[in-house]
Structure 1
């Protein structure tokens, strides 16, 4: 086989890979008063999570239909949320305070009334996102490589933890170096399990989603690929009410947009 033919075959393969690469295409966007930490979504509404407040909006026009704001001074850094049944579960931390402490805060999805809490107390990382998958809770605990480093732990200490429904820890995994480098100096800010059984994660700033997989062996998640996005890091949510497409809601925090995208 001559060198020219080999070069031609390689060129075709590279072109094919480029054509088939996934990317997120914007469908629509909503500009709101404040969009800082993340977004959750159900069949009819989306929910914007900020440091100490939550707003609920209709998916058709973005109209605000409910509002909650912390009046206790306890909540400083609500990070993300997920709707399960009639409840909104939010990952919460004391960021940027140290030592790191975290909790899961539970709200009525209809009214946004605060209902319950589960405290992790002091934990080696800040709870940044939560999901429920295959009968277990999955929570990411972020660590940082900048001024918010806690106890000498940089972002390599970022951990995904699997819990039972009673919050008993089952397993945990480190994040792969490829993704940690992209996160740096921050950590994972969003994550969710996809319909395909793969784990999708975002960092703090970059317009990218990282696709990961549980390893067949060893303590670290396996990196598969990166999907370019319009939304810029932070917490996102898959719209599982759409059955024939991969739709997710993300945010651009600098200009307060919720961005709806389709992965193709």
Structure 2
């Protein structure tokens, strides 16, 4: 999480400024075989599983790591229901370049009590997705305590609310974008997680980390969103987004 509500609010506003600056920047996407990037090449297609299958074939080393796994069945069971919610909303997607890994430790902060961002790091993970997808990545990166899901305060609701308010004070979300954000949230990790499977298993020869990326990241995050705490977050978000939109100038 961020160190304070002020940091979360400022981070949301700065991300909105980045998305506004990116409007009209029409450089093509980085390419489907670019590793460790939060992309929506497959997630953003209506036919999710065939698109993911085609995408996976083009990822260096991924087919080797998935061999012997019933990965398509796993993905369909864990992620298929979430994509069914996203599918009818995809017509509202407006392609836009995003940061791809927006969280507090990728931002340099001004010293002292005032919350101010001096610089943004890690643009090496930027890609052409859409603003709402990139905002969902920002929430997924910092809004849930993924390394301690047994704790009582797994979701940092006040910080999520502050980040969304900061964002919408600069770039208010339409009703269609708000619905997209909720639908994207359980899915934004999919292509990055699979890329990590290939990265750890093929490049680093670290089978244990590749297993964690597959079981606990790719499938585990989706299963968490399907559980009580994940569903509570998804149920809470629409009202939180509407409050932020109503308060936006």
TM-score, scaled to structure 1: 0.27
Name the structure where helix makes up a greater proportion of residues.
2
Structure number, greater radius of gyration? 1
State TM-score, norm by structure 2.
0.28
User: Using CA pairs below 8 Å that are at least 6 residues apart, which structure has the higher relative contact order?
Assistant: 2
More strand by percentage: 1
